[in-house]
Amino acid sequence: MSRFSRRAFLATVASGALARPSFSNAAGRYLVIDIDKMKFGVSHIELKAGDTVRWRNKDLVRHTATARDGSFDIDLPRGEEGSIYLVTPGKMEVYCRFHPGMIMTLSIVE
């Protein structure tokens, strides 16, 4: 099992109006990963605890950004965005539930 727990992330799903969790005053960076042409924009990204990752679906079809360990599952209809705020160091795999070949990894360091 992964070292991530469900509590490790504040996950939010953007549906129409973007949900804004408490990360607005986080000191970390804010990184955007575009999804297009059936791929995540990066296959691997290294982050720090306190960073926020935002996925943007620029593709023509619906995708998800889903943690392999179930920590989060962000539904991303066409044109939608969704973010997670990373708090726990570790490595995890993210995939798309609709297209299991779409995979990327996040490494969160202290």
Which residues are at the interface with Cu ion (CB under 5 A)?
A: 63, 96, 98-99, 102
Minimum distance between the CB of residue 96 and Cu ion, rounded to whole angstroms?
3
Taking the complex as a whole, the smallest distance from the CB of residue 74 to Cu ion amounts, in Å, to 11
Closer Cβ to Cu ion, 26 or 98, answer by number: 98
Please say which residue, 86 or 102, places its beta carbon nearer to Cu ion: 102
Q: Which residues contact 102 (CB under 8 A, 6 or more apart)?
A: 35, 38, 39, 40, 63, 95, 96
Strand, helix or coil for residue 59: coil
Q: Residue 108 half-sphere exposure, CB side, CA atoms within 13 Å?
A: 23
Shortest Cβ contact with Cu ion: which residue? 96
CB of residue 67 vs Cu ion: minimum separation in angstroms?
15
- SS3 at position 22: helix
Nearest CB to Cu ion, comparing residues 21 and 41:
41
* Distance from C-alpha of 52 to C-alpha of 19, rounded to nearest angstrom: 13
